[in-house]
Amino acid sequence: AQSVTQLDSHVSVSEGTPVLLRCNYSSSYSPSLFWYVQHPNKGLQLLLKYTSAATLVKGINGFEAEFKKSETSFHLTKPSAHMSDAAEYFCVVSDLRDTGRRALTFGSGTRLQVQP
Amino acid sequence: DAGVTQSPTHLIKTRGQQVTLRCSPKSGHDTVSWYQQALGQGPQFIFQYYEEEERQRGNFPDRFSGHQFPNYSSELNVNALLLGDSALYLCASSFWGLQTEAFFGQGTRLTVV
């Protein structure tokens, strides 16, 4: 079984300040982990992914995430927030199994607000 | 290169009716998965199709069914609609068996009245 907990439903930051969106996961197998972003009335866009290579993963638009197995965490960070970063962010886990089947398990989402 | 396309974008149905949603995967992808996203929640996995067969299914009743065609496109059918079926339905495409990311369409907003 696998699950994802996003520790904050809402995060508000000022433009130009750092962003931290927290995610903890649970997985019976070696996990693949993703962060997706969803802007209003738009589909889901992949920000970054971890698939057992480097533990520090760089994504698009300046976002990064660090896989910490001991803490079962995969927090998303960005050094400086931009107004265009305001959106809903989802942490996602998938099991990397031999069968190749993949069902994504989503967290409940974190709404990021960026104040001017 | 067209990404994942879904139709229609919006739909209003009455309780008890049936609905069909459509999805065309990203060019070259052979696997289609469907997700339901209720308002204010994360998407939940409904089922996945590969080689025209349902390969994996989430915790959804049999009222939810699907199909995949030889060109890899897919349909999601929901029978006997309930008010609680109102949601954004997302289609995702990927390669079977490879740990690559899934690409999502913009979704179909279904409202049941």
B6-39 per-position pLDDT tens digit: 999 999 999 999 999 999 999 989 999 999 999 9
Neighboring chain B residues of A49 at a CB cutoff of 8 Å: 101
Q: Which residues make beta-bridge pairs with B48?
A: B33, B56
pLDDT of residue A43: 84
In this predicted model, which residue has the larger pLDDT, B98 or B25? B25
Domains of chain B by residue range: 5-112
Comparing CB atoms, the residue among B40, B43, B48 nearest residue A106 is B43
- Interface probe for A, chosen from B101, B106, B109 (most Cβ of A below 10 Å), is B101
pLDDT of residue A106: 94
Q: Which residue of A has its CA nearest to B96?
A: A100
Q: Which residues contact A84 (CB under 8 A, 6 or more apart)?
A: none
Hey, what domains does chain A have and what are their CATH numbers? 2-115 (2.60.40.10)
CA A69 to chain centre: 15
- Interface subset of A 6-65, CB within 8 angstroms of B: 32, 34, 36, 41-46, 49, 51
Q: Which residues contact B3 (CB under 8 A, 6 or more apart)?
A: B26, B103, B105
Token pair listed for B39? 């308002």
Q: Which residue of B has its CA nearest to A30?
A: B99
Comparing CB atoms, the residue among A44, A94, A109 nearest residue B90 is A44
Instruction: Provide CATH code, domain B5-112.
Output: 2.60.40.10
Comparing CB atoms, the residue among A34, A51, A103 nearest residue B45 is A103
Q: Which residues contact B8 (CB under 8 A, 6 or more apart)?
A: B21, B108
Is residue B99 over pLDDT 80? Answer: no
- Interface probe for B, chosen from A90, A102, A110, A111 (most Cβ of B below 10 Å), is A102
pLDDT of residue A99: 42
Q: Which residue of A has its CA nearest to B104?
A: A44
B55-97 per-position pLDDT tens digit: 989 999 999 999 999 999 999 999 999 999 999 999 999 888 7
CB A32 within 8 Å of CB A98 = no
What's the length of chain A? 116
CB pairs under 8 A between A and B: 58
- pLDDT truncated to tens, each residue of chain A (116 aa)? 789 999 999 999 999 999 999 999 998 777 889 999 999 878 899 999 988 778 899 999 999 999 999 999 999 999 999 999 999 999 999 876 544 467 889 999 999 999 99
* B45 and A CB contact within 8 Å: yes
